[in-house]
């Protein structure tokens, strides 16, 4: 097994500067203690070994101090190794100076407290167990405490070991509980901030869309008049009739889009009604015009007819946009799977196109994301995906982007029954 897998972590958690500063404090304390008992009290103990251990920490910390940046963070693997080193170094100094009988043995609690505050549960448990094991060794294996030798009863040593072990477990658990609560609150605040940011972006886009609808209405009307005039001038000339009809259909499509943009969805009461989830997806799918060289297949074998949902404008617009996007990028076929599993219902939209570019797949759903591949081959700013994702999340859906089994893109939208299904 890879040693990284033991800690199982790659997420950046703790600032390198924080660990360096904590270690400097420990080094200063260790140097002071060694110098005090060596040169002031003149106790005899192997201080060259103690100084060697301290200077090794100084050397390593000096290197880290040289390469650090003010914002650099350590992933959990390296942070765990750093804390384990400090624990082993402290244990070595305790071994030279009386083991568990040394009053400074209580400092073995510190590495575990730091670990549970910043690192994962797995790393914290490893460091806590290592601390207890080292304490167990220091209970029986150590050089006598410098100064007048005092023989301590076995039960006293056992009591010291037990108290320090309980301290490691109790303080570790307490610190972990506080840190975990803080992490949950921070995550909740981050999610709230992201949601508010999305809402602000969406509101801004809504204002832009309304303005665009107003500004485009006049030139679109002018184009309509020109096309009608061309139609009259060309008469029954079959050479241009198809082109003129195409222009008319596209103009009408633009008008419908502008009408939707300028209409308050809350006033569309006739559009909002209950419908089976199966029929809702089919209604959305069949409203789109698939190119002649592309096929759309809807697989609904895994969902019952009695699953009734609200015909929400957000769902219809978002799914239509996603399916339309799949039609643009597919080579030959799109497969749509509707299903319900347990307490969840969902729809998977697959295509056999090029799939999502690797340079943007992790950022899909953010506004104004543009891939180098998309920029080279097709236009797009990612607004459609951003709007669709935001609207779907408003309805309680979770949307993910993956590689399809068809070779192209897969967009998966899942709702919990409690948030979407009408009982």
User: What is the residue-averaged pLDDT of the chain?
Assistant: 79
Quote the tokens at residue 81.
């190794």
Phi, psi of 300, deg, nearest 5:
-125, 25
Q: Which of 167-176, 270-279, 321-330 has the lowest mean pLDDT?
A: 270-279
Could you tell me which residue, 376 or 273, shows the higher pLDDT? 273
**Residue 308: other Cβ atoms inside 10 A:** 14
Give, to the nearest 10 degrees, the angle between helix 16-35 and helix 76-96.
10
CA-to-CA distance for 277 and 422, rounded, in angstroms? 10
Q: Average pLDDT of 266-285?
A: 70
- For tokens 């601390």, name the residue: 131
Both tokens of 183, joined, read 């992490």
> How many angstroms separate the Cα of 187 from the Cα of each of 11, 127, 191, 192, 401?
15, 25, 6, 9, 22
pLDDT digits (tens, 9 = 90+) for 179-237: 888 778 777 777 767 666 666 655 555 555 555 665 676 777 778 777 777 777 777 66
Residue 118 banded pLDDT, cuts 50, 70, 90: confident
pLDDT digit string, tens, across residues 68-109: 877 788 888 888 899 999 999 999 999 998 889 888 899 999
Contact yes or no for 106/164 (Cβ under 8 A)? yes
β-sheet with 421-422: strand ranges across: 274-276, 308-310, 421-422
What pLDDT, on a 0 to 100 scale, did the predictor assign at position 137? 93
413: part of which helix (H) or strand (E)? strand 409-416
| Residue whose C-alpha is closest to residue 317's, from 248, 415, 394 | 394
Owner of token pair 């000096």: 62
CA distances from 361 to 65, 320, 369, 385 (A): 36, 20, 10, 11
- Across 234-257, average pLDDT: 74
- Report residue 116 as tokens: 């549970």
Collapse the DSSP code of 268 into the 3-class scheme (helix H, G, I; strand E, B; otherwise coil) and give the result: coil
> Stretch 317-327: mean pLDDT, rounded?
86
333-341 and 398-403 as β-strands: parallel, antiparallel, unpaired? unpaired
Q: Out of 169-173, 237-241, 276-280, 366-370, which region has the weakest mean confidence (pLDDT)?
A: 366-370
The pLDDT assigned to 138 comes to: 92
Average pLDDT over residues 1-22: 66
Q: Please, are residues 410 and 326 in contact by the beta-carbon 8 Å criterion?
A: no
Give CA separation, 402 vs 316, 348, 354, in Å: 22, 10, 12
Q: Assign residue 407 a region: left if phi > 0, alpha if psi is -120 to 50, beta otherwise?
A: left
The helix (H) or strand (E) run that includes residue 211 is helix 154-234
Q: Which residue has the higher pLDDT, 270 or 45?
A: 45
Q: What is the pLDDT of residue 150?
A: 66
- 268 pLDDT tier (thresholds 50, 70, 90): very low
Beta bridge partners of 421: 309
On the question of pLDDT at 260 being above 70, the answer is no
56 near 165, Cβ under 8 Å?
no
* pLDDT band of 121, cuts 50, 70, 90: confident
pLDDT of residue 223: 81
Beta strands in 60-111 (DSSP E): 73-75
Task: Compute φ and ψ for 186, nearest 5 degrees.
Answer: -65, -40
Is the per-residue pLDDT at 270 higher than 60? no
Domains of the chain in sequence order? 3-151 (no CATH), 197-267 (1.10.287), 274-422 (3.30.565.10)
Instruction: Between 255 and 163, name the one with better pLDDT.
Output: 163
What length is written for the chain? 423
- State the CB neighbour count (10 A cutoff) for residue 330: 25
Q: In angstroms, rounded to a whole number, what is the distance separating the alpha carbons of residues 310 and 134?
A: 62
Using CA of residue 368, residue 369, residue 375, residue 380, what is the dihedral sign?
Answer: negative
Query: Which secondary structure element, helix H or strand E, spans residue 344, and what is its range?
Result: strand 344-351
The pTM of the full predicted model, rounded to 2 decimals, is 0.50
């Amino acid at each position: 097994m890879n040693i990284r897998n033991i800690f199982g972590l790659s997420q950046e958690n703790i600032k390198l500067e924080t660990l360096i500063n904590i270690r400097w404090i420990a080094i200063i304390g260790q140097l002071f203690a060694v110098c005090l008992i060596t040169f002031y009290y003149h106790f005899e103990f192997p201080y060259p070994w103690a100084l060697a251990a301290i200077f090794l920490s100084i050397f390593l910390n000096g290197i880290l101090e040289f390469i650090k940046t003010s914002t650099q963070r350590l992933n959990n693997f390296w942070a765990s190794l750093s804390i384990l080193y400090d624990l082993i170094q402290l244990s070595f100094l305790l071994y030279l100076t009386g083991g568990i009988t040394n009053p400074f043995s209580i400092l073995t609690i510190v590495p575990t407290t730091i670990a549970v505050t910043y690192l994962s549960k797995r790393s914290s448990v490893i460091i806590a167990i290592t601390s207890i094991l080292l304490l167990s060794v220091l209970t029986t294996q150590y050089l006598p405490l410098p100064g007048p030798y005092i023989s301590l009863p076995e039960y006293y040593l056992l009591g010291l070991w037990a108290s320090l072990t309980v301290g490691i477990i109790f303080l570790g658990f307490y610190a972990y509980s506080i840190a975990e609560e803080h992490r949950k609150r921070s995550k909740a605040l981050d999610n709230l901030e992201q949601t508010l940011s999305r809402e602000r972006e969406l509101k801004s886009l809504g204002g832009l869309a309304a303005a665009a609808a107003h500004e485009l209405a006049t030139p679109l009307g002018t184009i309509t008049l020109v096309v009608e005039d061309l139609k009259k001038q060309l008469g029954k000339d079959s050479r241009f009739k198809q082109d003129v009809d195409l222009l008319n259909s596209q103009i009408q499509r633009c008008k419908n889009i502008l009408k939707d943009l300028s209409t308050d969805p809350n006033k569309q009461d006739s559009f909002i009604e209950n419908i089976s989830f199966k029929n809702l997806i089919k209604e959305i799918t069949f409203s789109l015009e698939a190119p002649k060289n592309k096929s759309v297949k809807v697989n609904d074998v895994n969902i019952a007819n009695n699953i009734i949902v609200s015909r929400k404008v957000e769902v219809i617009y978002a799914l239509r946009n996603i399916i339309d996007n799949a039609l643009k990028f597919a080579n030959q076929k799109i497969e749509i799977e509707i299903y319900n599993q347990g307490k969840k219902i969902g729809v998977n939209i697959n295509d056999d196109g090029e799939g999502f570019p690797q340079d943007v797949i992790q950022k899909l759903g953010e506004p104004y994301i543009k891939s180098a591949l998309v920029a080279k081959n097709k236009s797009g700013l990612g607004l459609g995906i951003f709007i669709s994702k935001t609207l779907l999340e408003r309805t309680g859906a979770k949307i993910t982007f993956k590689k399809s089994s068809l070779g192209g893109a897969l967009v998966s939208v899942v709702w919990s029954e409690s948030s979407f299904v009408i009982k």
